[in-house]
Copies of this chain bind each other. A is one copy, B any other.
Amino acid sequence: MSPPTDARTLAWAYLSQVALGPCAPLVELAAAVGPEAAADAVRTADLPEVLRTRTEARRHLDTAERDLDRLLRLGGRLLTPDDEDWPAWKLLAFDGIESRRDREAAVPLALWTLGAASVAELTDRAIGVVGTRAATGYGEHVTTQFVDDLAGAGWTVVSGAAYGIDGVAHRAALAAGAPTVAVLACGLDRAYPAGHARLLRDVADTGLVLSEYPLGTTPARHRFLARNRLVAGLSDAVLVVEAGARSGARNTAAWAARLGRPVLAVPGPVTSAASVGCHRMIREGTAQLVARAADVIESAGPVAVGDDESGPVRRLDVLSATEARVYEALPTAGPVAVRALSESSGLPLAAVRGALPALELEGLVGQDDTGWFRRT
């Protein structure tokens, strides 16, 4: 017996099924009027032109109840922006993307997930580890070594479950006893690639398999690109271990860059075609060279702010990069308004608003009638 599903969740599932991938205007509509009103508007095509066109082909697919029922029977759940476990802070980075006209640069409407782990917790300190399907022995060895060290340091590995580097990354995390997150470009009922069906079950056992696509969705090229954006979106940094000249890993790296997150690449022999993409990114300055897991943590890790070596620095160690940036933007004395903080930090309003409560919980900031201030 599955628990009764509330109307809001049904609305999210419907919107996810209709959109079938990233759709910024629908995300905005749902945020503005709520998922149920948004779903009603889609059903009746009571929409602005751009959304009417975008939803026309699929708005009749009112299959949410059946979709959720199937998901529950698989042992999965639908994670929505209503859930406490929604990785809202991680996904705030999408608000920072400049071109709001890019409908692909959107947070997902909902995430279809398998596995009991908490998305927000697992992705709190996460590295996207990606690379070519045509991995070499060197690439596999290096991936295993990096992931083992990252897992030991408490970092979650997020990847795409593809053959090659992705698969090795998930396996190495599991071998290290660490939960790992696999993001699919298809429905959770489609093990893709088929050869990784067992691996995906193992990932779900302790970690998470997730997709923004409803069950039954088949993989397609544009869905891999949309999936790459989520791997980057759920990670603090993206690490490319091996990438050929035209590897999809470079797409994931490009997403990380758009989201303002570090792109890291492992060098290899210049004689290896599987390292050409990594070398090119480093040479072009779009990726930072990392030679060991400690380099990854140094580049991606929570930013320590403040100069004195006493207590506060220790506390600041636990901050995300966004939180640290907001904290640094606060004047040393006196309160300041959120809008001013957004300006001085260069972060979008929503990101600042998301970071302040965490800083308050840490006892680092306080607020009064006039704004937010540093606690000393």
Contacts and interface: CB of A to CB of B under 8 A. Distances in A.
Interface stretch (A4-12, A63-71, A282-290): A282-290
Interface stretch (A168-176, A213-221, A261-269): A261-269
A282 B270 contact: no
B291 A283 contact: yes
Interface string A291-324: 1100100000000000000000000000000000
A57 to B, nearest CB: 46
A275 B138 CA distance: 15
A292 to B, nearest CB: 7
Contact of A288 (B283, B290, B291): B283
A291 B266 contact: no
A267 B312 CA distance: 39
A276 B291 contact: yes
Nearest to A146: B270
A142 interface: yes
A375 interface: no
Contact of A283 (B269, B279, B290): B290
A140 to B, nearest CB: 12
Nearest to A279: B291
B266 A270 contact: yes
B270 A270 contact: no
Contact of A282 (B141, B275, B289, B292): B289
Nearest to A284: B289
A44 interface: no
A53 interface: no
B283 A270 contact: no
Given A279-B291, A288-B283, A295-B283, A268 B269 contact: yes
Most buried by B among A271, A276, A291, A295: A291
Contact of A270 (B268, B276, B288): B268
A141 B288 CA distance: 26
Given A283-B289, A289-B282, A269 B270 contact: no
Nearest to A264: B283
A144 B279 CA distance: 20
Q: From A266, A280, A282, name the one whose CB has the most chain B CB atoms within 10 angstroms.
A: A282
A205 to B, nearest CB: 31
Contacts of A275: 267, 291
Contacts of A142: 269-271
A288 B280 CA distance: 11
A270 B295 CA distance: 12
Contacts of A291: 270, 275-276, 279-280, 283
A189 to B, nearest CB: 39
Interface in A216-253: none
B289 A279 contact: yes
User: What 5 A-B pairs come out closest when comparing CB atoms?
Assistant: A267-B267, A279-B291, A270-B291, A283-B289, A282-B289
Interface of A: 138, 141-142, 266-271, 275-276, 279-280, 282-283, 288-292, 295
